[in-house]
Amino acid sequence: MTIVARVALALTLGALAGPALAAHALAWGDAPKYPPGFAHFDYVNPQAPRGGTLSLAGYGSFDKLNPFTLRGLAAAGLGTLMFETLAVSSEDEPFSMYGLLADDIRFAEDALSITFHLNPRARFWNGDPVTAEDVRHSFEVLTGRQAHPRFRQYFADVARVVVVDMATVRFEFARRNHELHMIIGMQLPVFSRKWGAGQPFDSVVQDEPLTSGPYRIERFDWGRTITYRRDPAWWAADLNVRRGMFNFERVVYKYFKDETARLEGFKAGEFDWVAENSAKNWARGHTGRHYDSGEIVKREFRHSNSAGMQGFVLNTRRPAFADVRVRQALALAMDFEWMNRQVFYGQYVRSPSYFTNSEMEAKGLPSADELALLEPLRAQLDAAVFGEAVMPPTTDPPSSLRANLRRALALLAEAGWKVDGEGVLRNARGQAFGFEILSYSKGLERIAVPWARNLGKLGIAARLRITDPALYQKRMDEFDFDVAIHLYAASQTPGNELLERFSSTAADGKGSDNFAGIRDRAVDAIVQRLLASRTRAELVTAARALDRVLRAGWYLVPHFYAPTHRVAWRARLAHPDTLPLYYAAETWLLETWWEKR
C-alpha cells in the first residue's frame, strides 16, 4: 500500500482487498484514535441539552442558497448546517475520517480506489434514502462546468465513479494521490438528485438544498437574514460522530454591512456570539457594563491549527509585479513590529511561512531530503532557495525601517525603477509606480495605511480601495486587482488545495485561489511530488521544499496570525470543557455549543 492508512479494526492492510467491508475510520499516517463503536468524540458533551435560538452575524449580503456555484454570495451557514459528507474529521487528530453517510470504508491496497458503503438509515429531509446514485450525481454536478471550478481541481485525479449497488459507490483514481481518498470522504458534499428539479445547476440559486444535514431553512430575507431550524427527523441525531452536536433548535444569521455596525449590534444584543478578528475591537471595543456584569463572556481559546499565510497578495499578472526584486522591495516597506506595538496591542505573531505554526514550515538550511527534491530543479530556482529559509523583513534592532527602505530602493533600481526629482518612482519609460490595494472591510485600513505610508517614502503611490463584498468577490474571481489581502489557510496535512492556489493551470482559471498568478514549473513539480507522498515524512519534506520556493518568490507581503481564537458570547451559552485541537471557531460553536437550561 502506498499510504500508511491504518484502520481501527485490528485488520492488516492486506485484508482490505478481501470481500469484507473494511473499516469505520481511516487516518493518514497513523491509527484512528477512536475504536469501532465509540460513543462520541471527546470534545463534545453527549448530555448537552437541545433547544434555544442562536443568533449570529453575517457580513455584507447574500443572494443565493447554492454555495457551489461561482457567481453570487451564498447565505452563511449552508455548508455546516445542511450538507453532509460520506465521512467527517475528528478535531483532535491531524487527519482522520470517520463514517457519516458511509458506515464502512474500503481503501484499496494499491491506493487507486476507495469504496464507501452507505448507512441504510441515511435520509434526505424529504424522507428519501441517500443512495450511491445520489453520491455519483453530486460528484458529477460539482465537477461539471456549471459548478465552481475548484471542485474540478480538487478531484481532477478521480478517473470515474462507479455505482456498485444502491448502497455502495467506488471512486477510482487515475494516479496515486496521498490524500484524495480522504478528501473524497470529507469534502464531497452529497445532495439529492431532486434538488433543482432538473434545472441547470448554475440556475439553482433560490431552491432550498435537498440535503441530509441537521437543519433546514425556515425562512430568509435576501441579503438581510436567514433562519435555520433543526430537522426533528434528522437521521443522524444519535450517530456516534454526531452525538452531542448541533444542539440549537434554531440558528439565525443577521447581516451587517461593516465591522462597526457588527460590534455595536453585538453589544446591543442583536446576536449572541462573535469570533473577533480585530485586535483593536478585542482590546478596546469589547468592554463596558455588559462585560463587567458577566452578561457577556470574553475569552481566548488556544488551538493547534496550522496558521497558513495571510498577506498582501501581489498580482503578478500586472507588469509592475512581474520582477521578484520589486516584490521583495514592497515587502521591505512593511514594518510589522511598529504595527504590532502601536496598532495591534502586541496580540500578533509574524507569519514567516505558507505553513506557519506547523511541522511543514521550512527553517534554516534545506535538509538532505529537501535537497534531493530541489537539486534536479536547481536551474529553475532562485539561489535563495538553497540558503537559509527566506524570512520576512524585521525592524527589530539591529535592523530598522530606514535600512530596509534603503535596501528596497536598491532592489527597485536594479529592476529599472528610480525616484525622480519630484520624489516619484518611475521606470525607464517614465511611468510612475502606483497601485490599488483592494479590500472589502474598512477595518483592514489599520494594516494597509501604515504600509502605504512607508511605500510613499519609496515614491510609490498605494491607494486603498474598499468595496462591497459582492464586488470584491467578483473582482477577485476575475483577478481584476493589483494587490489584495488574502489568507491562505493551511491544514495539518496539505494536499489538493495546493493545486488551486499555486499551480500554473490554476493561474488562468477564473475563481481559483491562485491570486498571485504563479506560473512556475518548479512549483508545479514540487506540488505533484507532495501529492504523491507515500509517508508523512515524504509529505513534510515536499511541503518544506515548496515553502522555500514560494517564500523566495515574494508573491505576497507576509502578515501575522493570532495563536488563539478570540471569542465573546452571551453567558446563557455553554461549551464543552474539553477543547478540540484543530478547529475553526464558528464551526466549533455550531457543532458543539448549547444553550443553558
Summarize pLDDT for 317-342 with one digit per residue, the tens.
999 999 999 999 999 999 999 999 99
Distance CA 233, CA 124 (A): 10
CB 22 within 8 A of CB 104: yes
pLDDT for the residue 11:
29
Over residues 34-51, the pLDDT tens digits come to 999 999 999 999 999 999
Is the predicted pLDDT of residue 5 greater than 50, yes or no? no
Distance CA 360, CA 149 (A): 27
Number of neighbours of residue 43 by Cβ within 10 angstroms = 20
When pLDDT is cut at 50, 70 and 90, the band that residue 442 belongs to is confident
CB 469 within 8 A of CB 444: no
% of residues, the chain, pLDDT over 70: 96
pLDDT for the residue 572:
98
% of residues, the chain, pLDDT over 90: 83
pLDDT for the residue 22:
60
CB 525 within 8 A of CB 163: no
CB 497 within 8 A of CB 151: no
Over residues 404-441, the pLDDT tens digits come to 999 999 999 999 999 999 999 999 999 999 999 999 88
When pLDDT is cut at 50, 70 and 90, the band that residue 534 belongs to is confident
Distance CA 334, CA 337 (A): 9
Is the predicted pLDDT of residue 14 greater than 50, yes or no? no
Distance CA 130, CA 211 (A): 9
Over residues 537-593, the pLDDT tens digits come to 999 999 999 999 999 999 999 999 988 999 999 999 999 999 999 999 999 999 999
CA angle 406-408-414, nearest 5°?
110
With b meaning 16 or more CB within 10 Å and e meaning fewer, what string describes 155-183?
bbbbeebebeeebbbbbebeebbbbbbbb
Number of neighbours of residue 367 by Cβ within 10 angstroms = 15
* Axis-axis angle for helices 324-332, 536-553 (nearest 10): 90
CB 533 within 8 A of CB 375: no
When pLDDT is cut at 50, 70 and 90, the band that residue 21 belongs to is very low
**Furthest C-alpha separation in the chain:** 80
Distance CA 85, CA 102 (A): 8
Asked if the peptide bond before residue 558 counts as cis, ω within 30 degrees of 0, the response is: no
How high does pLDDT run on average in the chain? Answer: 93
Over residues 159-214, the pLDDT tens digits come to 999 999 999 999 999 998 888 999 999 999 999 999 998 899 999 999 999 999 99
Average pLDDT over residues 117-126: 98
Instruction: Map out the domains of the chain with their CATH numbers.
Output: 1-27+84-212 (3.40.190.10), 215-303+564-595 (3.40.190.10), 316-412+467-561 (3.10.105.10)
Is the predicted pLDDT of residue 355 greater than 50, yes or no? yes
Distance CA 307, CA 353 (A): 9
C-alpha cell at 279: 485586535
Amino acid at 499: L
Over residues 233-256, the pLDDT tens digits come to 999 999 999 999 999 999 999 999
Phi, psi torsion values for 105, nearest 5 degrees: -135, 130
Over residues 380-394, the pLDDT tens digits come to 999 999 999 999 999
- With a CB cutoff of 8 Å and minimum separation 6, the contacts of 272 are 54, 55, 56, 569, 570, 572, 573
Q: Residue 66: name the closest of 131, 182, 148, 160 by CA.
A: 148
Is the predicted pLDDT of residue 466 greater than 80, yes or no? yes
Q: How many residues does the chain have?
A: 597
- With a CB cutoff of 8 Å and minimum separation 6, the contacts of 297 are 568, 569, 570, 571
